[in-house]
Amino acid sequence: MLDPELPDLTIADLGVLRDVVETDGAVEVSITPTYTGCPAMAMIALDVQTALDRAGIAGRVRTVLAPAWTTDWLSDAGRGKLARAGIAPPPPGAGRRALFGAPEVACPRCGSRKTEKIAAFGATACKALWRCRACREPFDLFKCH
Amino acid sequence: MATTSITVANAPLLDFVLRRADDALILGHRLSEWCGHAPTLEEDLALANVGLDLLGVARALYAYAGEIEGAGHDEDAFAYLRDAGQFRNLLLVEQPNGDFAHTVVRQFLYSAYADPFWRAMTRSADPMLAAVAAKSEKESAYHLRHASEWLIRLGDGTEESHRRAQAALDALLPYAGELSFVDDAERGLIAAGIAADPASLHPAWHATLDAVLAAATLARPAGEWSRSGGRTGRHSEHLGPLLAMMQVLPRTHPGARW
């Protein structure tokens, strides 16, 4: 199951898929939002429900809020996929300090660490806009959260 | 065809949840009004993103309010089918966008409170409120940083931006007193460890204001007079038109679906 906004990332890579439990033949899939208002959640829930229905599995999707999602749940595979898609993965170590610090971000295209923030908010709630001062290309940074 | 408005009875936990949900919805809606009009493209995205975070908080809280109330009202019913007198949001968040300085000051005053409020609420004895708080506190912190950076840029900017930032602060600070509103019902929730005590948040709020206003070279208006009423449904004249815009579609076409 791919995230609708992030190329090639599965919802498991992203940490959005929290649990799959089978009870008496019925499956319950638990998902959690990245950001509280993430508009992709409805689509992810629909995609999961559709996949269950297509496979002929009786099941339902449940949205859970706790524990709160953090970028530390991004898998290593997911971080690699982000970088290959031109999105700098979040610096490891979640929490307020990482959110407010001045993280050293490597350009996902040329690898240079001479990068700077253009805007604190980007095309989706989970991203900020950065630019590389070496190769001059702008890029998205997946915000630490 | 028109729909009938709903009325929600008062009950301590329900009031507490609806008040915070209404704050988030109304402020989020105000920010959405900037969509396509912000001073720069980056700021357009920023205001929409902050609004989206707030809408997410509102949805989670309305869903919980529906459970508490047990009258079959979902998040859409709370947002679209209540009249102005049924909304319990702060007067601050319904104030018009004004110029960009007004929007920045309104966001700063709200976020400077919301940030320590949600952080304190992560320790709520109510598991659902603690779960919402754990998500909101990081988002609120990010909003506060963004609003603070803008306020400093405007206040410590040109003569004109300074003048406008000071005018916005003078106009909006009187509404900030309502942030620490408590009534008997909320005192009961505070005693039960469910609600954060506004009095305990004052030091953080004042420290943020002092630090940012100093960096922004802005003067805190003298006098402690304040305006309130939103928490008990007595609103300024600005909420009605906002609701008319927000509610017209679902009220004109009840039950319409995409």
Answer for the pair B186, B195: CB distance below 8 angstroms, yes or no. yes
What does the DSSP 8-state code read for residue A10?
A: B
Q: Could you give the C-alpha distances from B73 to B3, B62, B77, B78, B81, in angstroms and in order?
A: 14, 9, 6, 7, 10
- Give the closest-approach CA distance of A21 to chain B in angstroms: 21
From the list A95, A36, A71, A85, the residue with the least C-alpha distance to A143 is A71
pLDDT at B222: 82
Question: Is A74 in a helix, a strand, or coil?
Answer: coil
If pLDDT is split at 50, 70 and 90, which confidence band does B206 have?
A: very high
Task: Kindly determine whether residue B56 and residue A36, on different chains, have CB atoms separated by under 8 Å.
Answer: yes
B-chain residues near A34 (CB < 8 A):
none
B-chain residues near A95 (CB < 8 A):
138
Higher-confidence residue of B246 and A144: namely B246
Task: Kindly determine whether residue A125 and residue B53, on different chains, have CB atoms separated by under 8 Å.
Answer: yes
If pLDDT is split at 50, 70 and 90, which confidence band does A124 have?
A: confident
Angle between helices B12-32 and B100-121 (to 10 degrees): 150
Residue A28 has pLDDT above 90, yes or no: yes
From the list A103, A83, A84, the residue with the least C-alpha distance to A144 is A103
Higher-confidence residue of A91 and A135: namely A135
- Give the closest-approach CA distance of A138 to chain B in angstroms: 13
B-chain residues near A69 (CB < 8 A):
135
Average pLDDT over residues B150-174: 97
Mean pLDDT across chain B = 95
In one-letter notation, the amino acid at residue B116 is: P
List, edge to edge, every strand of the sheet that includes A127-132. A87-88, A138-142, A127-132, A115-119
If pLDDT is split at 50, 70 and 90, which confidence band does B258 have?
A: confident
Option in B56, B130, B131 nearest A37 (CB): B56
Average pLDDT over residues A97-121: 83
B97, with CB counted inside 10 A (0-12, 13-18, 19+), is middle
Residue A73 has pLDDT above 80, yes or no: yes
Average pLDDT over residues A63-92: 90
If pLDDT is split at 50, 70 and 90, which confidence band does A36 have?
A: confident
Closest chain A residue to B52 measured between Cα atoms? A37
Judged by a CB distance cut-off of 8 A, whether residue B103 touches chain A is: no
Q: pLDDT tens, B98-148?
A: 999 999 999 999 999 999 999 999 999 999 999 999 999 989 999 999 999
The helix (run of H) or strand (run of E) holding residue B63 is: helix B41-69
State yes or no: cis peptide before B39, omega within 30 of 0. no
- Give the closest-approach CA distance of A66 to chain B in angstroms: 5
List, edge to edge, every strand of the sheet that includes A26-31. A17-23, A26-31, A59-63
Tokens at residue B61, please?
């809280």
ipTM score: 0.85
Those residues whose C-beta lies under 8 Å from the C-beta of residue B193, and which sit 6 or more positions away, are: B123, B124, B125
From the list B177, B182, B201, the residue with the least C-alpha distance to B117 is B201
Average pLDDT over residues A31-55: 92
Residue of B23, B31, B45, B76 to mutate, testing the A interface (most A Cβ within 10 Å of its Cβ):
B45
Average pLDDT over residues A12-34: 94
If pLDDT is split at 50, 70 and 90, which confidence band does A5 have?
A: confident
Judged by a CB distance cut-off of 8 A, whether residue B42 touches chain A is: yes
Option in B46, B56, B128 nearest A119 (CB): B46
B-chain residues near A118 (CB < 8 A):
42
From the list B90, B84, B15, the residue with the least C-alpha distance to B54 is B90
Q: pLDDT tens, B31-50?
A: 999 999 999 999 999 999 99
Question: Do the bridges between strand A115-119 and strand A26-31 make them parallel or antiparallel, or are there none, so unpaired?
Answer: unpaired
Residue B1 has pLDDT above 60, yes or no: no
Task: Kindly determine whether residue A65 and residue B138, on different chains, have CB atoms separated by under 8 Å.
Answer: no
In one-letter notation, the amino acid at residue B106 is: R
Answer for the pair A115, A128: CB distance below 8 angstroms, yes or no. no
- Give the closest-approach CA distance of A63 to chain B in angstroms: 11
Residue A123 has pLDDT above 60, yes or no: yes
Task: Kindly determine whether residue B131 and residue A68, on different chains, have CB atoms separated by under 8 Å.
Answer: yes
If pLDDT is split at 50, 70 and 90, which confidence band does B223 have?
A: confident
Residue of B135, B144, B145, B257 to mutate, testing the A interface (most A Cβ within 10 Å of its Cβ):
B135
Task: Kindly determine whether residue A37 and residue B130, on different chains, have CB atoms separated by under 8 Å.
Answer: no
Answer for the pair B131, B56: CB distance below 8 angstroms, yes or no. no
Mean pLDDT across chain A = 89
Question: Is A130 in a helix, a strand, or coil?
Answer: strand
- Give the closest-approach CA distance of B52 to chain A in angstroms: 5
Judged by a CB distance cut-off of 8 A, whether residue B127 touches chain A is: yes
Q: Could you give the C-alpha distances from A5 to A28, A77, B53, B74, in angstroms and in order?
A: 24, 17, 17, 27
pLDDT at B17: 98
If pLDDT is split at 50, 70 and 90, which confidence band does B257 have?
A: confident
Residue of A38, A72, A121, A144 to mutate, testing the B interface (most B Cβ within 10 Å of its Cβ):
A121
Q: Is the dihedral of CA A11, A27, A67, B19 positive or negative?
A: positive
Residue of A65, A73, A117, A129 to mutate, testing the B interface (most B Cβ within 10 Å of its Cβ):
A65
Give the DSSP letter string of A32-61: --SSTT-THHHHHHHHHHHHHHHTT--EEE
